[in-house]
Chain A
Amino acid sequence: MEADKVMVGKPLVSIVSAGMSKFGKFDGVYARELFVEAVKDAYERCPNLDPKRDIKALIVGQMSESFEHQGHTGPTMADWAGLTPIPTIRTEAACSSSAVAIRVGIFAVMSGLYDVVMVGGVEKMTHRKTSDVTEYLAMACDYPFEQWQGATFPGLFAMVGRAHMHKYGTTEKQMALVAVKNHHHGAMNPKAHMQKEICLEDALSSRVVAYPLKLYDCSLITDGACCLIFTKPEIAKKYTDTPVHIIGSGQASDTIGLYERENLTNLDAGRLAGEEAYRMAGVEPKDVDVAEVHDCFTIAEIVAYEDLGFCERGKGGCLVEDGQTGIDGKVAVNTSGGLKAKGHPVGATGAAQAYEVYLQLTEQAGKRQVKGAEIGLTHNIGGLGATGVVNICKRG
């Protein structure tokens, strides 16, 4: 877009606080109650903010009302977060619902309509039987031509994996190494669903879900909520001495069905979103210190490395094998544990990626802190890449 040229590297909005619930399996807890936990975390981090006075709109992502048989998520969350009567917007883009909420939050502030907004996301999943969860998540793909013909969500990503193996020689071991790395990171994140190290053998010997993907190649079904407070950049210092600026944002769409695409080894919407965000931010892939990427399945993280330009096309497997995406690597990827170990409450995931980047760029990431991280990136994919969203942040 034309605006790219005039605002390269300029803050679009500032993140002045962020909050996240513990991620995990919480019986007898509702989504809105998890959202309260996230909101309280954000409020406590930002004592200068008076939520009722300052926050002018809430934009919240959620994938499916099927989980709790509860729709009208916007006001539900505003109500429990003590924010009524402000206006609310719910965004839905499958697993990238709250990355789109972040985008809408950017629009809301940049339009000049609101100085301060809350964006976030939520999903409560674990009370449902796995078969129900699988069915609801599969709605993000092309029902009449994929699920109806026998495809599952892991099955579709498995086909991307098989195509990648065939074209580039990517191995099951390289995919497993993504899981080992992200579990290692998750073990250092007190809010992660699974804070447990795994070894390569565990991952490779776990049962097959959809060849070549095994149980440890799949992310977790998780409950969780997350939120961020955005302000106009000019007033960020009123609220905090350590804001994080969003300096680039991109989004793209692709065919709803994977089966229609000529290229089955990468996800173009993620690549195009990245290119737009890099252009707007005026940064290059080599400038990125920390990145939270969409590892719903291990192959998706390998594909993301390539789509984001962290390595050449086809070399994603080698990048993880060479240890270049660990905390001390060339680019630290999924320091939170990623969707793989931190968990994947689908509607909350995009916001939770931004939360981790916010922690990293404000030196709040504890044991998993990447020293001196200046530039952080989030990469969130909806469905089989029919939506891709990339946001780039800079230490304030």
Chain B
Amino acid sequence: MNRMAETRPFTIDSFYKFVGEGKLMAAKCSKCGAALLPPRPACSKCMSEDLQWIPVNPKGKLLTYTVIHVSPKEFESKAPYAVGIVRFDNGGQLLGMVRDVEPSKLQVGMTVIIDFERTSTPVAAPAQAPAQWPAWPRYFFRPA
């Protein structure tokens, strides 16, 4: 975070606010060095609250994937779509859609990069979610 220490709380909400700004951020534990992605209020390895925001290397490897044909209502227009789990080069893992690639071209181990949805309007929350449910911005992966 350059030289300005980032002071946002280490919450899911903060994580997704960064995503909305096109940034992938984790919390690093100053005590044991663990990187927490997504961030948590206390380090799950040593329970220290002495944490710092750090940027995550946006490149990683596809550990596994699936192509979802039967989708929830909100993603019906996208189906079939690919979803994968990615391990970032400097540690940490996330799950997200894998776009801009034919499903038949997907391979375990391929290099992908994270990208962020740019929407001017908030994303619709699922019908069952409470009215005030945060409509978080989404990230996704594409071949690097």
Contact = CB atoms under 8 A, between A and B. Distances in A.
Given A145-B95, A209-B69, A258-B85, A135 B126 contact: yes
A250 B84 CA distance: 31
A211 B66 contact: yes
B133 to A, nearest CB: 10
Interface string A133-159: 011001000001111111110111011
Interface residues of B, number: 34
B67 A208 contact: yes
B138 A148 contact: yes
Nearest to B136: A148
A150 B67 CA distance: 11
Contacts of B66: 155-156, 158-159, 161-162, 210-213
B63 A155 contact: no
Interface string B51-68: 000000000000111111
A170 to B, nearest CB: 13
A111 interface: no
A159 B64 CA distance: 6
A184 B14 CA distance: 51
B70 A210 contact: yes
A155 B65 CA distance: 9
Contacts of B97: 149-150
B100 to A, nearest CB: 15
Interface size class of A (residues with CB under 8 A): 35 or more
A138 B95 CA distance: 15
B108 interface: yes
A209 B84 CA distance: 15
A211 B75 contact: no
Contacts of A166: 64, 108
B93 interface: yes
A150 B12 contact: no
B81 interface: yes
Interface in A243-291: 257-261, 264
Contacts of B140: 149
A146 B94 CA distance: 9
A144 B136 contact: yes
A49 interface: no
B72 interface: yes
A264 B85 contact: yes
A154 B72 CA distance: 11
Contact of B68 (A135, A162, A210, A264): A210
Question: 8 tightest CB-CB pairs across the interface, nearest first?
Answer: A158-B66, A259-B95, A163-B64, A211-B67, A166-B108, A159-B64, A210-B66, A162-B64
30 contacts: A132-B128, A138-B72, A144-B12, A144-B16, A144-B38, A144-B136, A145-B94, A149-B97, A150-B68, A150-B78, A150-B81, A150-B97, A151-B68, A152-B68, A154-B68, A154-B70, A155-B68, A160-B64, A163-B108, A207-B69, A208-B69, A208-B80, A209-B68, A209-B69, A209-B70, A210-B66, A211-B67, A212-B66, A258-B95, A259-B85
Interface of A: 131-132, 134-135, 138, 144-152, 154-156, 158-163, 166, 207-213, 257-261, 264
